[in-house]
């Protein structure tokens, strides 16, 4: 309590910046992709890491340059970032005689850079974890320390999710599902870290979750067996439901809604988590105008809620990775179903 | 930038990065770990099975041992019984033999004694007869040294003979 009153006293005499907070820019600036990695702002000057912009123009071919040339609406080699309110707002555009068009853009954006960093961390962690097995005979001893942790997590995912959900030939899918789990988990966790090089909203980006869902879609449908496809195109229902292709239609829609739900679930959960934390933190800045006492009180509340939200997000980071992997396993398991097995499982 | 339209550049990089990560982890990462754990699992399972088998075998051993012990005890008792039976039989036999021998010896001794007695008696009788004859001779010689006494004696003998009733 004494500490809190001390903080509020400090705040009382602190000259309050009366600059109103642009909520839209604040929120979207944090959760959206961008061409440079903004770290902080010192005395009005943004401190950011410039990232390479890689674009292909039909007129002038490939271009690769640093994003710092595009800062503050500047134009470089005919490229500029579309201003607020324009079409393709915030994206790199090209000036052409026919007007502004969107070039093919494979820039290393903030999310791509974050993705690279997180993937590097992930690969490093897993390879460090399994290095132990190259030097020891796992039949004679069990690992401890970091390898023990990695083994515990991997076996938890494999034994609790993959094995029961996929079924007998789970070994074939296990590497993909484990990779998906740890990829999502690590990206979720590093997304919560509020400072560089964490904090990029990667798994809360629809393109990332789209790609993940696409991989699951491919894993399900490329290796589906004949029973799976028979169930889609000629299911065991009365003939009039198949002749007018009502059931096949529903099944085919279901083919796409399953990965779609995976995509939206992960995206929305992580995005919402980031938004919630940002919103709670924004309370501190928004209430600056309301006077020191009010601001101090709400700051305390915001910090408490921020801690709470961060903890919730740690849980969500794990939970969403778990759910994505589990549902992927279930979908794969459904595509590998054998009717005889079903009969066997029904008997007891 | 729209929140819900996937951006091509990010999608491209994401696919590439995920594919690389997947390749690395699927080749050098997870299978190594899961295979090792599976091997360890298998070994643990086998060890448990072995232990169970050994336990069962030990139980069988114990039962067999028990049976062997009981058998040995039974045999021992049997042997002891047989031995004591044999012993008593031998003793009885020996007793019987001894008795028979003793009886035989006794019988022989009796016969011998009887024979000895007989011969001794005969000797004694002979001796007595001789002595009495000599005595009688001496007496007769002494008494019959004169004719009167010879006559008297003859008379007396005749009297005696007359007095003795005839037998058979």
Residue ending a domain, among A86, A107, A128, is A107
Alpha carbon dihedral B31, B35, B41, B45, in 10-degree steps, equals 140
The answer for residues whose C-beta is within 8 angstroms of residue A7's C-beta and 6 or more apart is: A296, A299, A300
Q: State how far the alpha carbon of A30 is from the alpha carbons of A92, A309, B13, B147, in Å.
A: 18, 16, 20, 197
Judge if A199 and A314 occupy the same domain.
yes
Judge if A62 and A199 occupy the same domain.
no
Please check whether residue A344 lies inside any domain of the structure: no
Residue ending a domain, among A75, A107, A139, is A107
Q: Which H or E run contains A36? A: strand A36-42
What is the spatial distance between Cα A146 and Cα A41, in angstroms, rounded to a whole number? Answer: 37
What is the spatial distance between Cα A173 and Cα A163, in angstroms, rounded to a whole number? Answer: 10
DSSP secondary structure string for all residues of B67-83: HHHHHHHHHHHHHHHHH
Judge if A95 and A135 occupy the same domain.
no
Judge if A80 and A212 occupy the same domain.
no
Interchain contact A82–B (C-beta under 8 A): no
Query: What are residue A57's DSSP bridge partners?
Result: A61
The answer for residues whose C-beta is within 8 angstroms of residue B143's C-beta and 6 or more apart is: B149, B150, B153
DSSP secondary structure string for all residues of A137-164: -TTT----HHHHHHHHHHHHIIIIIIHH
The H-assigned helical ranges of A23-80 are 23-31
Interchain contact B40–A (C-beta under 8 A): yes
Q: How many CB atoms are located within 10 Å of the residue A327 CB?
A: 19
Q: What is the pLDDT of residue B167?
A: 56
Nearest Cα to A277, choosing from A303, A298, A295? A303
Closest partner residue to B1 (CB to CB) among A33, A54, A175 is: A33
Domain residues for A93?
Answer: 52-107
* Residue ranges in chain B whose pLDDT is less than 70: 1, 143, 165-168
Judge if A67 and A117 occupy the same domain.
no
Judge if A222 and A270 occupy the same domain.
yes
- Chain mean pLDDT for chain A: 85
Query: Could you tell me if A309 and A270 are in contact, meaning their C-beta atoms sit under 8 angstroms apart?
Result: no
Judge if A128 and A75 occupy the same domain.
no
Query: Could you tell me if A283 and A302 are in contact, meaning their C-beta atoms sit under 8 angstroms apart?
Result: yes
Judge if A101 and A200 occupy the same domain.
no
Q: How many CB atoms are located within 10 Å of the residue B15 CB?
A: 17
What is the spatial distance between Cα A181 and Cα A137, in angstroms, rounded to a whole number? Answer: 27
Please check whether residue A8 lies inside any domain of the structure: no
Interchain contact A129–B (C-beta under 8 A): yes
Please check whether residue B128 lies inside any domain of the structure: no
What is the spatial distance between Cα A117 and Cα A124, in angstroms, rounded to a whole number? Answer: 10
- pLDDT tens column, B67-116: 999 999 999 999 999 999 999 999 999 999 999 999 999 998 889 888 88
Q: Identify the weakest region by mean pLDDT among A54-68, A271-285, A333-347.
A: A333-347
Please check whether residue A12 lies inside any domain of the structure: no
Q: What is the pLDDT of residue A231?
A: 82
Please check whether residue B137 lies inside any domain of the structure: no
Closest partner residue to B33 (CB to CB) among A34, A154, A179 is: A154
Please check whether residue B158 lies inside any domain of the structure: no
Interchain contact A183–B (C-beta under 8 A): yes
What is the spatial distance between Cα A226 and Cα A169, in angstroms, rounded to a whole number? Answer: 15
- pLDDT tens column, A262-311: 999 999 999 999 999 999 988 888 888 888 888 899 999 999 999 999 99
Please check whether residue A345 lies inside any domain of the structure: no
The H-assigned helical ranges of chain B are 8-24, 30-143, 147-163
Taking 60 as the threshold, does the pLDDT of residue A14 lie above it?
A: no
Sheet holding A99-101, edge to edge: A79-81, A92-96, A99-101
The verdict on a CB contact (< 8 Å) between B11 and A211 is yes
Please check whether residue A270 lies inside any domain of the structure: yes
Closest partner residue to A205 (CB to CB) among B10, B17, B30 is: B10
Domain residues for B101?
Answer: 8-117
Q: What is the pLDDT of residue A34?
A: 85
Q: What is the pLDDT of residue A11?
A: 47
Q: How many domains does chain A have?
A: 2
Please check whether residue B81 lies inside any domain of the structure: yes
Q: How many domains does chain B have?
A: 1
The answer for residues whose C-beta is within 8 angstroms of residue A330's C-beta and 6 or more apart is: A165
- pLDDT tens column, A242-266: 777 888 888 899 999 999 999 999 9
Burial environment of residue B122 by CB neighbours within 10 A (0 to 12, 13 to 18, 19 or more): exposed
Please check whether residue A72 lies inside any domain of the structure: yes
The DSSP output letter for B27 is I
Judge if A134 and A99 occupy the same domain.
no
Please check whether residue B62 lies inside any domain of the structure: yes
The verdict on a CB contact (< 8 Å) between B10 and A33 is yes
The verdict on a CB contact (< 8 Å) between B9 and A122 is no
Which of A117, A210, A212, A217 to probe by mutation at the B interface, max B CB count within 10 Å? A210
The H-assigned helical ranges of A14-109 are 23-31
Closest partner residue to A158 (CB to CB) among B24, B28, B34 is: B34
Judge if A100 and A217 occupy the same domain.
no
The verdict on a CB contact (< 8 Å) between A105 and B9 is yes
Judge if A100 and A119 occupy the same domain.
no
Please check whether residue B153 lies inside any domain of the structure: no
Q: How confident is the model at residue A15 (pLDDT cuts 50, 70, 90)?
A: very low
Taking 50 as the threshold, does the pLDDT of residue A13 lie above it?
A: no
Judge if A128 and A79 occupy the same domain.
no
Two structure tokens written together for B94:
């020996």
Please check whether residue B136 lies inside any domain of the structure: no
What is the spatial distance between Cα B33 and Cα A229, in angstroms, rounded to a whole number? Answer: 34
Two structure tokens written together for B143:
């008494």
């Amino acid at each position: 309590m004494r500490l809190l009153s001390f903080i509020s006293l400090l705040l009382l005499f602190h000259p309050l910046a009366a600059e109103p907070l642009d909520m839209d820019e604040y929120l979207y600036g944090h959760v959206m992709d961008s061409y440079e990695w903004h770290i902080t702002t010192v005395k009005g000057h943004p401190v950011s890491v410039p990232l390479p912009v890689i674009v292909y123009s039909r007129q002038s071919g490939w271009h690769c340059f640093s994003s710092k040339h595009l800062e503050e609406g500047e134009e470089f080699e005919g490229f500029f970032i579309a201003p607020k309110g324009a079409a393709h707002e915030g994206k790199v555009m090209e000036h052409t005689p026919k007007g502004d068009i969107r070039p093919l853009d494979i820039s290393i954006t903030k999310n791509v850079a974050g993705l690279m960093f997180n993937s590097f961390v992930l690969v490093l962690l897993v390879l460090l974890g399994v290095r132990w097995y190259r030097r020891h005979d796992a039949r004679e001893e069990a690992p401890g320390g970091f390898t023990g942790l990695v083994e515990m997590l991997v076996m938890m995912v494999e034994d609790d999710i993959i094995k029961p959900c996929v079924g007998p030939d789970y070994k074939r899918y296990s590497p993909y599902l484990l990779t998906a789990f740890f990829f999502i988990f690590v990206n979720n966790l590093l997304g919560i870290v509020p400072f560089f090089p964490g904090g990029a909203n990667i798994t809360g980006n629809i393109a990332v979750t789209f790609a993940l869902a696409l991989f699951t879609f491919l894993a399900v449908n490329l290796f589906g067996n004949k029973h799976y496809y028979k169930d889609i195109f000629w299911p065991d229902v009365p003939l009039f439901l198949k002749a007018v292709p009502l059931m096949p239609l529903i099944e085919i829609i279901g083919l796409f809604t399953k990965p779609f739900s995976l995509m939206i679930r992960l995206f929305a959960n992580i995005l919402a988590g980031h938004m919630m934390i940002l919103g709670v933190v924004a309370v501190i800045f928004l209430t600056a105008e309301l006077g020191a006492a009010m601001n101090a009180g709400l700051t305390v509340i915001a910090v408490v809620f921020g801690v709470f939200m961060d903890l919730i997000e740690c849980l969500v980071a794990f939970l969403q990775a778990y759910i994505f992997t589990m549902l992927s396993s279930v979908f794969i398991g459904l595509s590998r179903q054998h009717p005889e097995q079903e009969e066997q499982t029904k008997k007891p | 930038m729209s929140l819900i339209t996937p951006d091509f550049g990010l999608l491209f990089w994401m696919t590439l990065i995920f594919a690389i990560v997947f390749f690395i982890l699927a080749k050098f990462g997870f299978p190594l770990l899961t295979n090792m754990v599976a091997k360890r699992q298998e070994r643990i399972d086998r060890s448990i099975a072995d232990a169970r088998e050994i336990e069962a075998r030990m139980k069988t051993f114990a039962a067999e041992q028990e049976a062997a012990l009981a058998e040995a005890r039974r045999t021992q008792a049997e042997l002891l019984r047989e031995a004591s039976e044999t012993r008593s039989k031998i003793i009885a036999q020996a007793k019987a033999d001894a008795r028979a021998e003793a009886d035989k010896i006794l019988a022989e001794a009796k016969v011998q004694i009887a024979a000895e007695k007989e011969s001794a008696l005969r000797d004694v009788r002979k001796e007595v007869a001789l002595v009495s004859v000599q005595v009688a001779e001496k007496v007769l010689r002494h008494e019959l040294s004169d004719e009167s006494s010879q006559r008297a004696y003859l008379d007396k003998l005749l009297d005696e003979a007359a007095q003795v009733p005839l037998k058979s």
